[in-house]
Structure 1
Amino acid sequence: MATTPLSQIPTLTQLYNLSKLHPSTHPHSTSTSKYNSKISLIRTDITKLETDSIVNAANESLLGGGGVDGAIHRAAGPSLLEECAKLDGCDTGSAKITNAYRLPCKKVIHAVGPVYSRTKREGKHTRLLQSCYTTSLDLAYEAGCESIAFSALSTGVYGYPSDEAAATAIEAVKGWLERGGEMERIVICSFMEKDERAYEEFIPYVAAFSAGYWGGSSHRRPRKLQVEQKARMRWQQGRTSTTVSSPTSVPTDDPTEEGQPKSKKAKLEDATVEKP
């Protein structure tokens, strides 16, 4: 199995230098970056990354499902399911850590993202998704991991719009670093093009509208004005949602949105654990 070492995953600094990312035209975006060398963007199969840890887009049962979740379980082998079955599930907005078995990483962090339509009605969607990222970072750090790769949490069958999810994830990661979090590399790994494009669009604007920490240099080609205005509006909406949401307990019930695949509703008692 061909894998991708950390040295081959481009940082934001490299992506700006290669003009694969383009900065905002907002004047604050010319600030010197603090984190460009720590953050990476890549579109690939997360099961092939040689980071110390990867973050799985799991469901509350932690017993596998479709999409990235299923791919990670298949690549890791049956021992991952056996360990997950002992964890008694996981609440939405939280995460749990396991060994990686046959994967090229050392640890798998299983984060349970919010179902967008339900949690947005409850005013919890932003807080719960940010909690997935910060909790995963905390677990990776506590386990001695120096690098972590995130899948695009909640943007599949859970229905979180890719642009909102990207802005929320970026803000959560940046906030964790600003509060003193230590990680050699944080990789944002997309599998779908829609998620990759969302990150490419929003990273420069979060920089511009939150003190310029991630902005590129001013001599590079500016983004179109209408894209910049849209990014600013959506990012500010996300900030407002985060600010005004009242503290509430993390829901413990399984997602029950209509049309949700059965694999995302798996129960612990229904699982058959395959022995290695």
Structure 2
Amino acid sequence: MPDRAEHLATNDEARWTAVAASYERWAEPLTSHFARAALSLAGDVERGERVLDVAAGTGALALAAAEAGARVLATDFSPGMVARLRDRLQPFAGSEARVMDGQALAVEDATFDASFSVFGVMLFPDWRRGLAELVRATRPGGRVIMATWVNSEGAGPAPLFLQAYRRAFPGAAIPPPPPGMVVLCSPEGLKAEMVRAGCGEVAVHAVDGAWGGPSVDLVMEDIDQILRLMPLYAALDSDGRARLSGPLRAAIEACAEPGGAVRVPATANVAIGRR
């Protein structure tokens, strides 16, 4: 049965580090699509430009920018994520990864030509401080880019999990989404907060993508690892996870295409502003 979910938060560094090894495999096929879209919508980056990637995870945005010739500083509060990032950024001279709190970046003011947060700042406990730090680190006239989900419940497997959870545990309390996701999931809220943080010329674009896998069976094989970052899932004991399994499989089967592949549509807001 579900318990202690209220004590588990999206800023639990230990859980992010625990899944770092597998995050690249099951999350990046979704996030890299939006990271590359964010780069393109921002006008791409030029060789030698300085780029900041806050809450970089295993590096979907950082790698794309480094491949384009930018000098990237990728930051994350999870040592496990940063260790993987360091390995992946080794081939790119001038790029590095550091453990850093995105709400208090250890960088000088006005340092970067472009500063990104792809599905990161929206999860911070003090997300307004995180957005302000992103702007502070950017040079005057530089670009500030934020990507957020349009659904405050997240994307990929997250909404399917919550759908199954409500079926498995009717009446159980479900904690609200992180406050930043509630505000930033709307284009109007995202634009207003970017302006409030000091950005001008803010434009918000809706970008469509999808998450999934080759088959329902293969997705179910990975689902425990995939959902470990979900506070409600992490709070379940073995009996609770067994009770959830049937409704979760049914939710995933509903997203299977005629050929058997699972495809879950996802949409993000990508906002670009100028400091």
Q: TM-score, normalised by structure 1?
A: 0.32
Q: RCO higher in 1 or 2 (8 Å CA, sep ≥ 6)?
A: 1
Which one has the bigger strand percentage?
A: 2
